Amino acid sequence: MSDIRGRDFLKLADFETGEIDDILNLAFEMKREQRQWSLKGKTIIMLFFNSSLRTRTSFEIGATQLGAQPVVLNVGQDAWNLEWEEGTVMNANSPEHIKDAAKVLSRYGDALAVRSFPRMQNYAQDRVDPILSSFSKYASAPLINLESAVEHPCQGLADLMTLREVFNHNTKGKKVVLSWAPHVKALPLAVPHSFLLAAAMGGCDITVAHPPQFELEESVRTQAELVANLNGGKVRVTHDQQEAFKGAEVVYAKSWLSLPFYGKPEEEMAYRATLPSWTIDEDKMALTSRARFMHCLPIRRNLVATDGVLDHDDCVIYQQAENRLHAQKALMVKMLGES
């Protein structure tokens, strides 16, 4: 049994498959309500630099169900705008530095949790997750990533839990497709990165399908290949969506941005307009081996996937969203509970 108390939970990539399995085994126990778990007297402080429906509610309700006190701060509304540049003269719009906020909040809370999306101008700057890294550097309380530029590890936990449910706990070698999908905006890479790593931890036979120019970050793909190989799975990449869908047992849809067009959304949208349709519809799902359909939500209906796909019995998006609650409760207990 691994012990993750006191550690930050910033990336799936930082954790061993066994450590993630331990969290999920507890999540399954919690979902079956076999035991009462308590974090009575603990406080979780969540800072949102960006909007959320599932992450905020599932953490707030999960902490409450465990007897802990959740405190939610929307940065720029409930809390001051926060500066993260080191050594800067703070004569602009941010009255407080993360260095001070993180140290203060660590004296109040048993854990901090932060959502901060990338600024989407310069990937070299965004990929180091400056806000999350600054909290990690200065907070003495453990820190949870609620989605950043590079990963959404809590989503990845729930996604692996859902894969285990779909495949009756035998995910090894199962044919899983991570498919790019259209969107009106260039979206971050965090969810596809975390899903790829989660499916690799499950030892799945993963196909990443995307148009040219939409490669995931090479270091994440390389690590996913390594993790998949260690767990009896593999990762391959194709630009042919329909070929990828043939025989698939799970289709995970997600839109993500193009790294070569990073910071140039208008050029990226012009390029996207030249692509054939990547919307996932009933005809494409009919190519699969009755695949379950997954998506992290929110989803733009009839753009990412059709109503026919989303309202079908094989769509598990609500089960997947519910698993956020169980997986995160298990994470909080593992991070903050008694041994």
Quick one: which of 30, 99, 108, 23 has its CA closest to 70?
108
Q: Tell me the CB-side half-sphere exposure of residue 3, using CA atoms within 13 A.
A: 5
Provide, rounded to whole angstroms, the least separation between the CB of residue 158 and ligand CP: 8
Amino acid of residue 120: M
Of 147 and 205, nearer to ligand CP (C-beta) is 147
Quick one: which of 108, 63, 93 has its CA closest to 331?
63
177 bridge partner residues: 207, 251
CA-to-CA distance for 153 and 185, rounded, in angstroms? 22
Provide, rounded to whole angstroms, the least separation between the CB of residue 276 and ligand CP: 27
Chain residue whose CB lies nearest ligand CP? 55
CA-to-CA distance for 26 and 46, rounded, in angstroms? 23
Of 115 and 272, nearer to ligand CP (C-beta) is 115
Adjacency order of strands within the sheet including 143-145: 69-74, 43-48, 111-115, 143-145
Provide, rounded to whole angstroms, the least separation between the CB of residue 119 and ligand CP: 17
Residues written for the chain: 339
Kindly state the helix (H) or strand (E) to which residue 292 belongs, with its residue range.
Answer: strand 292-294
Of 54 and 183, nearer to ligand CP (C-beta) is 54
Of 166 and 296, nearer to ligand CP (C-beta) is 296
Provide, rounded to whole angstroms, the least separation between the CB of residue 57 and ligand CP: 8
CA-to-CA distance for 97 and 80, rounded, in angstroms? 9
CA-to-CA distance for 8 and 169, rounded, in angstroms? 27
Provide, rounded to whole angstroms, the least separation between the CB of residue 55 and ligand CP: 3
Residue written as token pair 């009839």: 302
Axis-axis angle for helices 54-65, 317-336 (nearest 10): 50
Of 55 and 136, nearer to ligand CP (C-beta) is 55
Provide, rounded to whole angstroms, the least separation between the CB of residue 307 and ligand CP: 20
Of 199 and 244, nearer to ligand CP (C-beta) is 199
Provide, rounded to whole angstroms, the least separation between the CB of residue 54 and ligand CP: 4
Per the CB < 8 A criterion, the answer to whether 329 and 306 are in contact is no
Axis-axis angle for helices 17-32, 190-201 (nearest 10): 90
Of 134 and 145, nearer to ligand CP (C-beta) is 145
Of 50 and 213, nearer to ligand CP (C-beta) is 50
Residues that bind ligand CP (CB under 6 A): 52-55, 147, 155, 296-298
Which residues have C-beta within 8 Å of that of residue 118, sequence separation ≥ 6?
Answer: 126, 127, 129, 148, 149, 188
Provide, rounded to whole angstroms, the least separation between the CB of residue 40 and ligand CP: 26
